[in-house]
A = this chain, B = another copy of it.
């Protein structure tokens, strides 16, 4: 058995795992990637992250705000305007998540081929 690197996140009781569970999430990844371009309002985020429902976007943003990754700016206007922005902490998360998104795109052909081969064997 190979030597494993000491990695706290692999321990069930370590709080960093709750954080990993949040950031290792497709919606989180897409929202953070979208926000990396700069401040955006709710409706623009919704169209940037194609297919996300208002409910899930709201919940995702709340969780990211709670974890200090996103800030919420409410402007007292009519109609209401709410803008979301990455915090400094949020910006440090962009590179890792962007890398994940890039991997998905760069290797989709191989993944699809592997799936087809696997399913053909069954």
A112 interface residue (CB < 8 Å to B): yes
User: Of the candidates B25, B44, B115, which one forms a contact with A67 in the assembled complex, judged by CB atoms under 8 Å apart?
Assistant: B115
Contact: B24 with A20, CB < 8 Å? no
User: Known interface pairs A110-B89, A118-B66. Does A104 touch B10 (Cβ–Cβ under 8 Å)?
Assistant: no
Contact: B103 with A96, CB < 8 Å? yes
User: Known interface pairs A29-B20, A37-B3. Does A9 touch B105 (Cβ–Cβ under 8 Å)?
Assistant: yes
The docked-state distance in angstroms from the alpha carbon of A32 to that of B41 is 35
Interface residues on A, range: 35 or more
Contact: B99 with A95, CB < 8 Å? yes
Contact: B10 with A34, CB < 8 Å? yes
Contact: A48 with B9, CB < 8 Å? no
Add 17 more A-B contacts to A24-B28, A92-B103, A96-B96 (CB < 8 A): A5-B33, A5-B37, A7-B101, A10-B30, A10-B48, A12-B51, A16-B105, A17-B104, A19-B107, A20-B100, A21-B26, A24-B25, A66-B115, A68-B117, A69-B114, A89-B114, A96-B100
